[in-house]
Chains A and B, each alone.
Chain A
Amino acid sequence: MDSARLQPLDMALVAAYLVGVTVTGLWLTRGVKTSRDYFLAGKTLPWWAVGMSLVVSDIGAKDMVGLAADGYRYGLVMMNFDFIGCAFPVLAAAFLFMPFLWIAGVYTVPEYLGRRYNATVRTFFALIWALFMMGTVGTILVSSAVMFEALLGWNFWWSVGITAVVVGLFTTTGGLKAVVLTDAISCVVLIVGASLICILGLHRAGGWEGIQSTIGSMDWTAHHFHLVLPADHPAFPWPAVLLGLGFVLGPAYWIGNQAIVQRTLGAGSQNQARASFVFCAVLKLVFPVLLVLPGLIGLALFYGELGDPAGWDEGVGNRVLPLLVVNLLPTGVLGIVVGAFMAGVVANLDSYINSASTLVVSDLYRPLVHGRTDTHYLRVGQALVVVFLLAGVAFARIIQPVFGSVFEAFQTFMTFFQGPLLALLLLGMLTRRATSAGALAGMILGVGTAVVLNSARFLFGREQGVSYLWVAWWSFVAAMAGAVAVSLATRPYDEERLRGLVCWIPTREEPQS
């Protein structure tokens, strides 16, 4: 087993983090009076806090465990998820897409789609996001349980229960403001903890040269030090990484993910929201190194114990990070790193349950049960946080044995609808001609394509499956083709109907320059 016992100093540091975050979160609940305060933090959030929150909403425990495992298996290519999959779409979102959502004054992405197309599209994506977020909450809980079991000897349900209670305490009452400001604390702890693993690991492995020399001498690691792999590589061929990740999954995540968009909508102004995206892009230059390097360090130091990933049984990859933590970190540092891991779990989890609650209240509950007081919707939102946590706990148990890698599970969830969502958002924001009939056709065709391509892995086995990067790309192409074809065959909307919703038709207040 890779488990270690925390010394009193480690426990004090972990407790300090947990108490600090919980007290800060609870203290911030004081200002929550309306549903706007709860769901959008009253639009008062500073850019630096939103930027840090964006980072830790994207990177959490699942990435720490999953990317260390995949870094061991595949090497530097995994950094693409935070380079081409993040920097490019984040900057495009900052200057091109975010202003639309801001000017439209919406709470959620499906709300924008509802205004641009119709209520069916809105409801469809709201439902699918709700399911996706429940799955994501389960994914986060599984990865935290793996780590806590390895580090502290906690059993699965004990780990899941503790995590859910800590997060539930302040997220239920504090809303987006508590989530974003505690995320900023967690981001700092995460950077410090991940840096310590890298620094101590590099020292033990003989520096970067030592790692390159050890890994370079293995006969299966020819591409471990390249970001761009050959076009015939079975897992990460460069065309699939560029098209599937860079042009579909990355943009869909950073432009269309409620957990991301909601933070920027809570910023104090449009300028603050733009600055938060750019600050996130700056921070994301460092994170790929902090997350993938431990995998390479693990390969250099523990190849004798973990062996060739070709021979790994289910879950072996998830031992890479715990092995490093247990074997490299001295007392005190271990406490900081465990605190960093908890920070990743807390920040990731609170972001998703808060956004799921916002989405269900805004897009599903409010349209059905309208005309109630604002306090009523606020209370429903708070109750939904608890419901989502409990649903995530149940889902955690289901997904644990099915997927080989926690990170891959997260990506697989996304591919079912990220391509179609991006196609509808792009067509909606950038063209006048897209219609609701076209959107429905594109949605059905895109999601259908993703289901067919993804089902190959379940019908014919993991080895015969289509890479999720290609699934994302082809579902995007299918949705785009379906939406364009049907839109061109149906009657276009008049200009007034599209005012403020399409790039080329600004609101009346906005000067045309």
Chain B
Amino acid sequence: MRTALFVLATEGARSAAAPLAGKAAFVGVFVALLVWLLLLPPRLIDEQGLRRPWWRNVRFWAVVVTLAQIWVYYYWG
């Protein structure tokens, strides 16, 4: 038996406009995260404040993850 939930889901999906605002909001969250990561002081990146090569730099990998998320929401949002 078709439940009310899925009737609503199907009708909602057909009638609603593309959620451009939603897509912008998700991308915006990750852009804000990216800016925050880039501006983080060194003491929050490394206990001893050491500069490490890029492949051992946690900030670098965090930025890679964030850029990947921005692309995912931009493309698939």
Give the interface of A toward B (CB within 8 A): 76, 83-84, 87-88, 91-92, 94-96, 99, 220, 222-223, 225-235, 238-239, 242, 246, 269-271, 274-275, 278-279, 281-282, 285, 308-311, 462-463, 513
Contacts and interface: CB of A to CB of B under 8 A. Distances in A.
Interface in B48-77: 48, 58, 61-62, 64-66, 68-69, 72-73, 76-77
Contacts of A513: 41, 43
Interface majority SS on B: helix, strand, loop or mixed? Answer: helix
Interface of B: 1-10, 12-19, 21-23, 25-26, 29-30, 33, 37, 40-41, 43-48, 58, 61-62, 64-66, 68-69, 72-73, 76-77
B62 A96 contact: no
A108 to B, nearest CB: 23
B54 to A, nearest CB: 13
Contacts of B19: 228-231, 238
A83 B27 CA distance: 11
Given A92-B33, A238-B22, A83 B72 contact: yes
B46 A271 contact: yes
B5 A233 contact: no
Contacts of B7: 310
Contacts, number: 130
A222 B62 CA distance: 33
Nearest to A463: B4
Contacts of B1: 311
A189 to B, nearest CB: 24
Given A88-B33, A91-B33, A238-B19, A222 B76 contact: no
B68 A95 contact: no
A232 B26 contact: no
A84 B66 contact: no
A228 B77 contact: yes
Contacts of B44: 95-96, 99
A235 B47 contact: no
Contacts of A242: 22, 25-26, 29
Given A271-B46, A281-B65, A513-B41, A230 B13 contact: yes
Contact of A234 (B12, B47, B64): B12
Contacts of A274: 45, 58
A513 B43 CA distance: 8
A246 B43 CA distance: 27
A463 B33 contact: no
B24 to A, nearest CB: 9
